[in-house]
Amino acid sequence: MDLDGPALAPPAGVIPQLDNPPNENGLAIGVLSACAAFATACFFMRGYARVFLLRKFQVEEVLVIIAYVGHSQCLGCFWGATYCTLALIETPGYFVHTWNVRLRDVIPTQYYVLIFGVCYSCVLPALKVGILVEWCRVFAPIGPRIKSPFWIGCATIIFVQITANIAIIVALNLQCIPHKAIYDFRVQGDCFDLYKLQVASACIHLVCDVVIFLLPQRIIWTLKMSWRKRLGVSFIFGLGLLACVSAAFRCAVTVAHGRSADSVYTLGPLAFWAMAEMTCGFFIICLPCIPKIIQETGLVRQLKKMSKGSGRKPYDGSYELQTESFVSGKGNRAGIDRAKEMNLMGPSESTERLHDGARGLAITQTTQFVLSEGGRQPGLSGARNARVGGTY
């Protein structure tokens, strides 16, 4: 057994490039870094909204922490999976053909694949259970909860995720006896075919993602609100479709990876889509917190202020009068109407109009004065008693 030779016989006419083989490590660094950064941002955004703004720390937060924190040997660690995918950049590299990889380098590659599979099977169920528990708080009342089809659907998916992924983790670690034979081909052992387990795992996550995507839609469209608001809420919860897309591609590349003899080369797409699937999980569980963050930070008000400020007109010294109480007597309406036209005139002309045609009358009215600047009303207002026709 030549450990320094190629891990797979090359095709006819192809010379193995064991030193600095062609690869797409630059693409891998970009994709994996983007997934890690986005998932991290979602994790801290949710923590900020839930713990600091809402002052809540419930079971969902525990599940999110389990999914995110850890290292390659710990339960439920997004960073454990991320570390394994980054380690594959050095050995053997991404999109490297198997005949360009030394046989000895297959051993650490198999080890990182095993650890990644265990971490992946901890992260996704923790996130999905957290998502469904939070949705049950929102959509399923405590009283008739057990009779609700939505609650029954959530409970079913939670049960499937927990039991299936525990079984998958156990099977991954028992696929060979002794355990070291899983990743070290130099150790003799009894092993079963891992391909069926990988496909079963991918299919379970895909089916669960589709069900999670469909579960809240019926309740959303029966809410007592305008159809525009229902559409907005449906769109937010419908972003779970991204997880379905990632799971579908992950299932497809899992089948391709299991059927390919060039397994090192097909490992890249499998790692990319698995990372994308976990990132979508962090994004979905962060979604309900984004409106609270926007509200507390005043982002919408700042954007409106900027949009109005960019097109506002300079202040022309005009005022707007809004009559709040009734006006009695004939002929007085004309004076009041002219007074309301003050915002279309200069200050001196509006003063003359205010005294014109109403001199000598003793009609008292309650008037609200609103300072307006180019269509904006800063909120400076007050109720005063004005004597029309006299000295103002």
- CATH number of the structural domain spanning residue 193: 1.20.1070
Q: Which of 254, 271, 299 finishes a domain? A: 299
SS3 content of the chain, % helix, strand, coil (to 5): 65, 10, 30
8-12, 216-220, 280-284: range with lowest mean pLDDT: 216-220
What domain range is 375 assigned to?
319-388
- The backbone torsions φ and ψ at residue 265, rounded to the nearest 5 degrees and listed phi first, read -70, -40
pLDDT tens sequence across 147-197 = 678 888 999 999 999 999 999 999 999 999 999 999 999 999 899 888 999
Q: Are residues 280 and 335 in the same domain?
A: no
Res 272: pLDDT = 96
Q: Are residues 108 and 237 in the same domain?
A: yes
The confidence band for 315, taking pLDDT boundaries of 50, 70 and 90, is very low
Res 174: pLDDT = 93
The confidence band for 145, taking pLDDT boundaries of 50, 70 and 90, is low
Q: Identify whether 12 is part of a domain.
A: no
- Kindly give the pairing relationship between strand 381-388 and strand 363-371: antiparallel
Overall average pLDDT of the 230-245 stretch: 84
Q: How far is CA 264 from CA 12, 81, 143, 224, 377, in A?
A: 19, 18, 53, 54, 66
Q: Identify whether 85 is part of a domain.
A: yes
Highest mean pLDDT among 24-33, 43-52, 187-196, 279-288 belongs to 24-33
Q: Are residues 99 and 188 in the same domain?
A: yes
Q: Where is pLDDT greater, at 46 or 360?
A: 46
Res 143: pLDDT = 61
Res 144: pLDDT = 59
Res 72: pLDDT = 43
Q: Which of 268, 299, 330 finishes a domain? A: 299
The confidence band for 313, taking pLDDT boundaries of 50, 70 and 90, is very low
Q: Are residues 80 and 209 in the same domain?
A: yes
Q: How far is CA 339 from CA 146, 320, 325, in A?
A: 65, 9, 15
Reported for 190-199, long-range contacts at CB under 8 A and 24+ positions apart, including other chains, are: 195/258, 195/259, 197/168, 197/171, 197/172, 198/117, 198/254, 198/257, 198/258, 199/251, 199/254, 199/255, 199/258
Task: Report how many domains make up the chain.
Answer: 2
Biggest alpha carbon distance in the chain? 116
Q: Identify whether 181 is part of a domain.
A: yes
Highest mean pLDDT among 139-148, 309-318, 383-392 belongs to 139-148
Q: Are residues 237 and 126 in the same domain?
A: yes
102-116, 144-158, 306-320, 372-386: range with lowest mean pLDDT: 372-386
Q: Identify whether 56 is part of a domain.
A: yes
Rounded to the nearest integer, the mean pLDDT of the chain is: 78
Overall average pLDDT of the 5-27 stretch: 91
Q: Are residues 87 and 200 in the same domain?
A: yes
The confidence band for 93, taking pLDDT boundaries of 50, 70 and 90, is very high
In one-letter notation, the amino acid at residue 370 is V
- For 318, the 3-state DSSP assignment is coil
In the chain, % of residues over pLDDT 90? 44
Q: Cβ–Cβ contacts within 10 Å for residue 354, how many?
A: 19
H/E stretch holding 364 reads: strand 363-371
Q: Identify whether 18 is part of a domain.
A: no
Q: Are residues 222 and 110 in the same domain?
A: yes
Q: Are residues 260 and 372 in the same domain?
A: no
pLDDT of 51 higher than 80: yes
Highest mean pLDDT among 106-110, 238-242, 372-376 belongs to 106-110
Res 106: pLDDT = 93
pLDDT tens sequence across 327-371 = 334 444 444 343 443 343 334 343 333 344 444 444 444 444 445
Res 126: pLDDT = 93
Q: Are residues 139 and 232 in the same domain?
A: yes
Q: Are residues 133 and 65 in the same domain?
A: yes
In the numeric block, the tokens 């897309």 are attached to 245
Q: Are residues 40 and 72 in the same domain?
A: yes
Q: Where is pLDDT greater, at 364 or 275?
A: 275
In one-letter notation, the amino acid at residue 55 is R
Q: Are residues 40 and 186 in the same domain?
A: yes
The confidence band for 70, taking pLDDT boundaries of 50, 70 and 90, is low
Q: Identify whether 174 is part of a domain.
A: yes
Cα 278 from Cα 68, distance rounded (Å): 10
Q: Identify whether 123 is part of a domain.
A: yes
**For residue 224, what are its two tokens?**
């007592």
The confidence band for 223, taking pLDDT boundaries of 50, 70 and 90, is confident
**For residue 203, what are its two tokens?**
């299919």
Cα 106 from Cα 263, distance rounded (Å): 10
User: What residues contact residue 168 under an 8 Å CB cut-off, 6+ apart?
Assistant: 117, 121, 197, 200, 201
Reported for 249-252, long-range contacts at CB under 8 A and 24+ positions apart, including other chains, are: 249/273, 249/276, 250/202, 250/205, 250/206, 250/274, 250/276, 250/277, 251/199, 251/202, 251/203, 251/205, 251/206
Q: Identify whether 20 is part of a domain.
A: no
Q: Where is pLDDT greater, at 121 or 356?
A: 121
Spatial contact of 165 and 123, defined as CB atoms under 8 Å apart: no
**Crossing angle of helices 78-90 and 106-139, rounded to 10°:** 150
Torsion of CA 173, 177, 178, 180, to 10 degrees: -50
- The backbone torsions φ and ψ at residue 93, rounded to the nearest 5 degrees and listed phi first, read 100, 160
